[in-house]
């Protein structure tokens, strides 16, 4: 009889946005699927989104006192060196108490101190970089870790080539079979089966330009006879609610946050989205025709680089943030009416999906432990 594999003890660190948190949770879930008795501890940044989202996913999380460095001179910047030292000290204690077999960094503030402390203690470490342009924390850690799992080819510009493994980005498992749930999805959102639906997602924190463009063009969308599922983020939600009430009989549904993204994708004929790495990975797996509006407020304009990787393969359309006010609703209406173009985008984006990303990353992790 094959002897039972001993449970693994793994710390997963990072966060800040859904783009870091959901891949981290997908890695944890896959590790549990492979070895159900494994112990997993998350380490995040106090006051950030991961401190609520990770416990909701059923995992324990510890918070570090850490934040990013601001681009302008602020009091926060003056305390930054103190936060780093305090977080490294706290990370050493977490590692001593938890005794992990390996650690995983997914990017975001907390992964820096934790992986620095772990690698100083010779604990095997792996980082997962979601974007086509590497984040600063991951670039700094690359020399210290054993493996770097990436979602895009040609990442040698940022990381040592011999450490790279092209895995893709892990996504929530419920998204993988979302296309079989169309009827359930329409019922869930209270939408009509005989009307086309546009899904608008601005990332987990919302996207002001997209929201303003949709608000300004909502009349046109409704007049054309289309339905809308609209994730606005918290800030814009009150305005969107007013519009939803005005157009509720025409199938306009606004949410500050959508928990059932699998059903949102299942209901959608066309998707308008920011070009964060996670959103793109999900779109590749659900194969939806998409219009990407890269956020201009991210480091090194990496969302435009993410989007261009698809646009060059005719796998998505691009509307630049500064042109969204004039172009976005027009582009969306043209795409909803053009079934040939939808089909072409859908076929091309599906070719870019990596459905086994979580399994491939966990395999690399287990190799490091062994």
What are the pLDDT digits (tens) for 187-224? Answer: 999 999 999 999 999 866 668 899 999 999 999 999 99
Has 17 been labeled as part of a binding site? yes
- Tell me whether residue 303 is annotated as binding: yes
At residue 128, the 3 state secondary structure works out as strand
Dihedral sign, CA of 172, 176, 177, 178? positive
The answer to whether position 269 is within a domain reads yes
Q: Are residues 151 and 36 in the same domain?
A: yes
- Claim to verify: residue 45 and residue 75 sit in the same structural domain: yes
| Same domain as 150, residue 28 | yes
Cα separation values, 31 from 9, 34, 42, Å: 10, 5, 13
Longest dimension (CA), the chain: 67
- In this structure, are strands 39-45 and 9-13 parallel, antiparallel, or unpaired? parallel
Residue 4 lies in a domain: no
18 appears as a binding residue in the annotation: yes
Residues 338 and 234 in one domain: yes
Is position 154 within any domain?
Answer: yes
Per-residue H/E/C for 242-258: HHHHHHHHHCEEEECCC
pLDDT recorded at residue 211: 94
Which of 87, 84, 92 has the alpha carbon at shortest distance from 121?
92
Q: Does residue 20 form part of some domain?
A: yes
306 in a known ligand binding site: no
Pair 102, 35: CB distance under 8 Å:
no
120 shares its domain with 194: no
Which residue has 């795409």 as its token pair? Answer: 335
Shared domain for 259 and 364, answered yes or no, is: no
Going by DSSP bridges, is the β-strand pair 270-273/125-129 parallel, antiparallel, or unpaired? unpaired
Predicted confidence at residue 322, as pLDDT, reads: 93
How does DSSP classify residue 94?
H
Q: What pLDDT is recorded for position 204? A: 61
CB 271 within 8 A of CB 265: yes
Closest CA to 132 of 17, 299, 272, 285: 299
Tell whether pTM > 0.85.
no
Contact present, 172 and 23 (Cβ < 8 Å): no
Domain assignment of residue 3, yes or no: no
How many domains, the chain?
Answer: 2
Residue 337 to residue 225: CA distance in whole angstroms? 11
Q: What pLDDT, on a 0 to 100 scale, did the predictor assign at position 1? A: 37
Same domain, yes or no: 192 and 320? yes
Q: End-to-end distance of the chain based on CA atoms, in angstroms?
A: 20
93 in a domain, yes or no?
yes
How far apart are the C-alpha atoms of 169 and 18, rounded to whole Å? 13
- 2 domain-assigned: no
* pLDDT at 183 (0 to 100): 94
Q: What is the CATH number of the domain that holds 59?
A: 3.40.50.2000
pLDDT in tens, 236-295: 999 999 998 888 777 999 999 898 999 999 999 999 999 988 899 999 999 999 999 999
Q: How far apart are CA 105 and CA 113, in angstroms?
A: 10
Q: Which residues of 304-343 are buried (b: 16+ CB within 10 A; e: fewer)?
A: bbbbbbbeeeebbbbbebeebeebbbebbbebbeeeebbe
Binding residue per annotation — 172? yes
Whether 202 has a binding-site annotation, put simply, is: no
Query: Are 290 and 276 a contacting pair, CB within 8 Å?
Result: no
Yes or no: say if 53 and 83 are a contact pair by the CB < 8 Å rule.
no
My answer on whether 94 and 71 are in the same domain is yes
**Statement to judge: residues 275 and 160 lie in one domain:** no
The predicted pLDDT at position 223 comes to 94
* Per-residue burial over 182-203, b = 16 or more CB atoms within 10 Å of its CB, e = otherwise: beebbebbebeeeebbbbbbbb
Q: Which domain holds residue 219?
A: 174-350
Q: Are residues 153 and 200 in the same domain?
A: no
Task: Please say whether the beta carbons of 330 and 296 come within 8 A.
Answer: no
Residue 120 is assigned to a ligand binding site: no
- Please tell me the predicted confidence (pLDDT) of residue 77: 64
Q: Is the alpha carbon torsion for 36, 260, 336, 327 positive or negative? A: negative
Does 1 reside within a domain?
no
Same domain, 44 and 161: yes
- 143 with 232, same domain: the answer is no
- Which residue ranges in the chain fall short of pLDDT 70? 1-4, 68-78, 203-206
- The answer to the question of whether 211 is labelled as a binding residue is no
């Amino acid at each position: 009889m094959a002897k039972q594999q001993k449970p693994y003890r793994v710390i997963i660190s990072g966060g800040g946005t859904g783009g870091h948190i959901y891949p981290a949770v997908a890695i944890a879930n896959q590790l549990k699927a492979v070895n159900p008795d494994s112990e997993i501890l998350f380490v995040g940044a106090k006051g950030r989104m991961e401190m609520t989202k990770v416990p909701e996913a059923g995992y324990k999380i510890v918070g570090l006192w850490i934040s990013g460095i601001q681009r302008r001179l602020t009091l926060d910047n003056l305390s930054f060196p103190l936060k780093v030292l305090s977080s490294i000290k706290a990370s050493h204690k977490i590692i001593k108490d938890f005794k992990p077999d390996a650690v995983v960094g997914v990017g975001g503030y907390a992964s820096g101190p934790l992986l620095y402390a772990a690698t100083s203690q010779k604990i095997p470490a792996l980082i997962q970089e979601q974007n086509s342009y590497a984040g600063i924390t991951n670039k700094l850690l690359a020399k210290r870790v054993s493996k770097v799992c990436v979602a895009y080819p040609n990442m040698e510009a940022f990381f040592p080539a011999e450490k790279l493994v092209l895995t893709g980005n892990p996504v929530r498992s419920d998204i993988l079979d979302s296309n079989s749930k169309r009827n359930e999805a329409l019922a869930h959102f209270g939408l009509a089966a005989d009307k086309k639906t546009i899904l608008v997602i601005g990332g987990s924190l919302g996207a002001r330009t997209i929201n303003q463009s949709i608000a300004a063009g909502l009349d046109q969308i409704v007049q054309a006879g289309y339905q809308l599922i609209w994730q606005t983020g918290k800030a814009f939600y009150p305005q969107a609610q007013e519009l939803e009430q005005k157009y509720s009989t025409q199938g306009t549904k606004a949410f500050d946050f959508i928990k059932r993204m699998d059903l949102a994708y299942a209901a959608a004929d066309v998707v308008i989205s920011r070009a964060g790495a996670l959103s793109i990975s999900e779109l590749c797996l659900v194969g939806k025709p998409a219009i990407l509006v890269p956020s201009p407020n991210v480091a090194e304009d990496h969302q435009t680089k993410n989007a261009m990787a698809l646009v060059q393969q005719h796998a998505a359309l691009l509307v630049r943030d500064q042109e969204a006010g004039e172009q976005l609703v027009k582009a969306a209406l043209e795409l909803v009416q053009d079934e040939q173009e939808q089909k072409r985008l859908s076929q091309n984006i599906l070719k870019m999906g990596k459905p086994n990303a979580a399994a491939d990353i966990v395999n690399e992790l287990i190799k490091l432990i062994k």
